[in-house]
Protein backbone atom coordinates (compact mmCIF):
# COMPACT_ATOMS: atom_id res chain seq x y z
CA UNK A 1 0.00 0.00 0.00
CA UNK A 2 1.31 3.43 -0.90
CA UNK A 3 2.64 5.45 2.02
CA UNK A 4 0.30 8.48 1.56
CA UNK A 5 -2.68 6.13 1.91
CA UNK A 6 -1.62 4.69 5.26
CA UNK A 7 -2.42 7.79 7.36
CA UNK A 8 -5.88 7.97 5.75
CA UNK A 9 -6.52 4.29 6.48
CA UNK A 10 -5.24 4.52 10.05
CA UNK A 11 -7.33 7.62 10.73
CA UNK A 12 -10.46 5.94 9.37
CA UNK A 13 -9.88 2.85 11.53
CA UNK A 14 -9.22 5.01 14.59
CA UNK A 15 -12.36 7.09 14.05
CA UNK A 16 -14.46 3.97 13.45
CA UNK A 17 -13.26 2.40 16.71
CA UNK A 18 -13.96 5.61 18.60
CA UNK A 19 -17.50 5.74 17.24
CA UNK A 20 -18.14 2.07 18.07
CA UNK A 21 -17.01 2.56 21.67
CA UNK A 22 -19.07 5.75 21.93
CA UNK A 23 -22.15 3.85 20.74
CA UNK A 24 -21.72 0.92 23.14
CA UNK A 25 -23.54 2.49 26.13
CA UNK A 26 -26.55 3.30 23.93
CA UNK A 27 -26.65 -0.20 22.47
CA UNK A 28 -26.08 -1.99 25.79
CA UNK A 29 -28.44 -0.06 28.02
CA UNK A 30 -31.31 0.71 25.65
CA UNK A 31 -34.35 -1.22 24.51
CA UNK A 32 -36.60 -0.75 21.54
CA UNK A 33 -40.24 0.13 22.02
CA UNK A 34 -41.38 -2.33 19.34
CA UNK A 35 -42.68 -5.64 20.66
CA UNK A 36 -39.93 -8.26 20.47
CA UNK A 37 -42.05 -10.77 18.54
CA UNK A 38 -44.27 -8.22 16.80
CA UNK A 39 -44.50 -8.04 13.00
CA UNK A 40 -42.70 -4.68 12.72
CA UNK A 41 -39.76 -5.94 14.77
CA UNK A 42 -39.55 -9.17 12.75
CA UNK A 43 -39.70 -7.34 9.42
CA UNK A 44 -36.90 -5.01 10.50
CA UNK A 45 -34.72 -7.92 11.62
CA UNK A 46 -35.20 -9.86 8.40
CA UNK A 47 -34.58 -6.78 6.28
CA UNK A 48 -31.40 -6.27 8.29
CA UNK A 49 -30.30 -9.86 7.61
CA UNK A 50 -30.79 -9.41 3.87
CA UNK A 51 -28.84 -6.14 3.80
CA UNK A 52 -25.95 -7.55 5.83
CA UNK A 53 -25.67 -10.60 3.56
CA UNK A 54 -25.75 -8.32 0.52
CA UNK A 55 -23.02 -6.20 2.10
CA UNK A 56 -20.71 -9.16 2.82
CA UNK A 57 -21.18 -10.67 -0.64
CA UNK A 58 -20.77 -7.30 -2.34
CA UNK A 59 -17.62 -6.32 -0.45
CA UNK A 60 -16.08 -9.74 -1.13
CA UNK A 61 -16.90 -9.44 -4.83
CA UNK A 62 -15.37 -5.96 -5.00
CA UNK A 63 -12.23 -7.19 -3.23
CA UNK A 64 -11.68 -9.81 -5.93
CA UNK A 65 -11.30 -6.98 -8.46
CA UNK A 66 -8.88 -5.00 -6.32
CA UNK A 67 -6.37 -7.83 -5.82
CA UNK A 68 -3.86 -5.49 -4.19
CA UNK A 69 -3.83 -3.19 -7.24
CA UNK A 70 -6.08 -0.38 -6.03
CA UNK A 71 -3.25 2.04 -5.31
CA UNK A 72 -1.14 1.01 -8.31
CA UNK A 73 -3.70 1.44 -11.09
CA UNK A 74 -7.21 2.76 -11.65
CA UNK A 75 -9.64 -0.13 -11.23
CA UNK A 76 -12.57 0.54 -13.56
CA UNK A 77 -14.13 -2.88 -14.20
CA UNK A 78 -16.88 -4.86 -12.51
CA UNK A 79 -18.49 -2.91 -9.63
CA UNK A 80 -15.86 -0.18 -10.08
CA UNK A 81 -17.19 0.47 -13.58
CA UNK A 82 -20.56 1.66 -12.30
CA UNK A 83 -19.58 3.47 -9.08
CA UNK A 84 -16.26 4.84 -7.84
CA UNK A 85 -16.59 3.61 -4.26
CA UNK A 86 -18.46 0.29 -4.31
CA UNK A 87 -16.83 -0.90 -1.07
CA UNK A 88 -18.22 2.11 0.79
CA UNK A 89 -21.59 1.68 -0.90
CA UNK A 90 -21.80 -1.90 0.36
CA UNK A 91 -20.60 -0.78 3.79
CA UNK A 92 -23.47 1.74 3.84
CA UNK A 93 -25.87 -1.12 3.05
CA UNK A 94 -24.31 -3.25 5.79
CA UNK A 95 -24.53 -0.47 8.37
CA UNK A 96 -28.20 0.00 7.52
CA UNK A 97 -28.65 -3.74 7.97
CA UNK A 98 -26.97 -3.74 11.37
CA UNK A 99 -29.17 -0.89 12.49
CA UNK A 100 -32.33 -2.70 11.39
CA UNK A 101 -31.23 -5.90 13.14
CA UNK A 102 -31.47 -4.03 16.44
CA UNK A 103 -35.23 -3.80 16.01
CA UNK A 104 -35.05 -0.07 16.74
CA UNK A 105 -35.69 2.75 14.29
CA UNK A 106 -33.36 5.10 16.17
CA UNK A 107 -30.20 3.06 15.66
CA UNK A 108 -30.22 2.74 11.84
CA UNK A 109 -31.12 6.44 11.51
CA UNK A 110 -28.22 7.39 13.79
CA UNK A 111 -25.74 5.05 12.07
CA UNK A 112 -26.67 6.22 8.58
CA UNK A 113 -26.54 9.87 9.64
CA UNK A 114 -23.00 9.44 10.98
CA UNK A 115 -21.99 7.60 7.81
CA UNK A 116 -23.48 10.33 5.61
CA UNK A 117 -21.62 13.03 7.53
CA UNK A 118 -18.26 11.30 7.85
CA UNK A 119 -17.57 9.19 4.76
CA UNK A 120 -17.95 11.87 2.06
CA UNK A 121 -14.96 13.61 3.67
CA UNK A 122 -13.01 10.32 3.74
CA UNK A 123 -13.79 9.67 0.09
CA UNK A 124 -12.87 13.23 -0.91
CA UNK A 125 -9.41 12.85 0.67
CA UNK A 126 -8.86 9.45 -0.95
CA UNK A 127 -9.95 10.70 -4.35
CA UNK A 128 -7.67 13.72 -4.04
CA UNK A 129 -4.75 11.35 -3.50
CA UNK A 130 -5.76 9.17 -6.47
CA UNK A 131 -6.24 12.25 -8.66
CA UNK A 132 -2.78 13.49 -7.72
CA UNK A 133 -1.26 10.06 -8.41
CA UNK A 134 -3.02 9.08 -11.63
CA UNK A 135 -3.82 12.50 -13.10
CA UNK A 136 -5.94 12.54 -16.25
CA UNK A 137 -6.63 8.80 -16.10
CA UNK A 138 -8.43 9.16 -12.79
CA UNK A 139 -9.99 12.48 -13.82
CA UNK A 140 -11.59 10.76 -16.82
CA UNK A 141 -12.75 7.96 -14.57
CA UNK A 142 -14.34 10.46 -12.19
CA UNK A 143 -16.19 12.18 -15.02
CA UNK A 144 -17.87 9.02 -16.31
CA UNK A 145 -18.35 7.11 -13.04
CA UNK A 146 -20.54 8.38 -10.17
CA UNK A 147 -19.15 8.58 -6.66
CA UNK A 148 -22.11 6.98 -4.85
CA UNK A 149 -25.10 6.11 -7.03
CA UNK A 150 -24.36 3.29 -9.55
CA UNK A 151 -24.69 4.01 -13.25
CA UNK A 152 -25.70 0.53 -14.39
CA UNK A 153 -25.29 1.16 -18.12
CA UNK A 154 -21.52 1.58 -17.53
CA UNK A 155 -21.08 -2.03 -16.43
CA UNK A 156 -17.91 -3.67 -17.80
CA UNK A 157 -17.05 -7.22 -16.85
CA UNK A 158 -13.78 -8.80 -18.00
CA UNK A 159 -13.58 -12.47 -18.89
CA UNK A 160 -10.81 -12.99 -16.35
CA UNK A 161 -9.45 -11.11 -13.35
CA UNK A 162 -6.18 -11.50 -11.48
CA UNK A 163 -6.27 -11.39 -7.70
CA UNK A 164 -4.21 -12.30 -4.65
CA UNK A 165 -5.83 -15.08 -2.59
CA UNK A 166 -4.37 -13.80 0.68
CA UNK A 167 -5.80 -10.32 0.21
CA UNK A 168 -9.14 -11.73 -0.90
CA UNK A 169 -9.26 -13.98 2.16
CA UNK A 170 -8.46 -11.07 4.46
CA UNK A 171 -11.12 -8.92 2.79
CA UNK A 172 -13.72 -11.67 3.18
CA UNK A 173 -12.76 -12.04 6.84
CA UNK A 174 -13.15 -8.30 7.41
CA UNK A 175 -16.50 -8.25 5.58
CA UNK A 176 -17.74 -11.17 7.68
CA UNK A 177 -17.45 -8.96 10.78
CA UNK A 178 -20.80 -7.46 9.75
CA UNK A 179 -22.35 -10.79 10.83
CA UNK A 180 -21.23 -10.26 14.44
CA UNK A 181 -23.80 -7.59 15.28
CA UNK A 182 -26.92 -9.79 15.21
CA UNK A 183 -25.84 -12.38 17.84
CA UNK A 184 -24.76 -9.47 20.03
CA UNK A 185 -28.22 -7.89 19.73
CA UNK A 186 -29.83 -11.26 20.53
CA UNK A 187 -27.61 -11.69 23.61
CA UNK A 188 -28.45 -8.19 24.84
CA UNK A 189 -32.18 -8.84 24.33
CA UNK A 190 -31.89 -12.03 26.40
CA UNK A 191 -30.00 -10.25 29.17
CA UNK A 192 -32.58 -7.45 29.25
CA UNK A 193 -35.48 -9.89 29.24
CA UNK A 194 -34.05 -11.81 32.20
CA UNK A 195 -33.25 -8.71 34.21
CA UNK A 196 -29.50 -9.33 34.03
CA UNK A 197 -28.84 -6.02 32.31
CA UNK A 198 -30.53 -2.73 33.24
CA UNK A 199 -32.43 -0.67 30.68
CA UNK A 200 -32.01 3.10 30.95
CA UNK A 201 -33.39 4.14 27.56
CA UNK A 202 -36.51 3.16 25.65
CA UNK A 203 -36.03 4.05 22.02
CA UNK A 204 -38.47 3.92 19.09
For the chain, the structural domain boundaries read 41-183
Q: What is the pLDDT of residue 3?
A: 44
**108 near 116, Cβ under 8 Å?**
no
Residue scoring higher pLDDT (18 or 137): 137
CB-based contacts of 158-166 (< 8 A; 24+ apart in sequence): 158/77, 158/78, 161/64, 161/65, 161/67, 161/77, 161/78, 162/67, 163/63, 163/64, 163/65, 163/66, 163/67, 163/68, 164/67, 164/68
Percent of the chain exceeding pLDDT 90 equals 52
pLDDT band at 204 (very low <50, low <70, confident <90, very high): confident
Q: What is the pLDDT of residue 6?
A: 62
Q: What confidence tens digit (pLDDT) does each residue in 37-81 have?
A: 788 888 999 999 999 999 999 999 999 888 767 767 899 999 999
67: which DSSP letter? Answer: T
Residue scoring higher pLDDT (9 or 105): 105
Amino acid sequence: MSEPVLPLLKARIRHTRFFVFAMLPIVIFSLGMLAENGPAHEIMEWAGHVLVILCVLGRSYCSAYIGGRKNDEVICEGPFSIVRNPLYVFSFIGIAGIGLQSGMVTLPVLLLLVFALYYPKVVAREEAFLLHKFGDVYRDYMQKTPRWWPRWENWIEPEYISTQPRLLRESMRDAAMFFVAFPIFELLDALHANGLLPVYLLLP
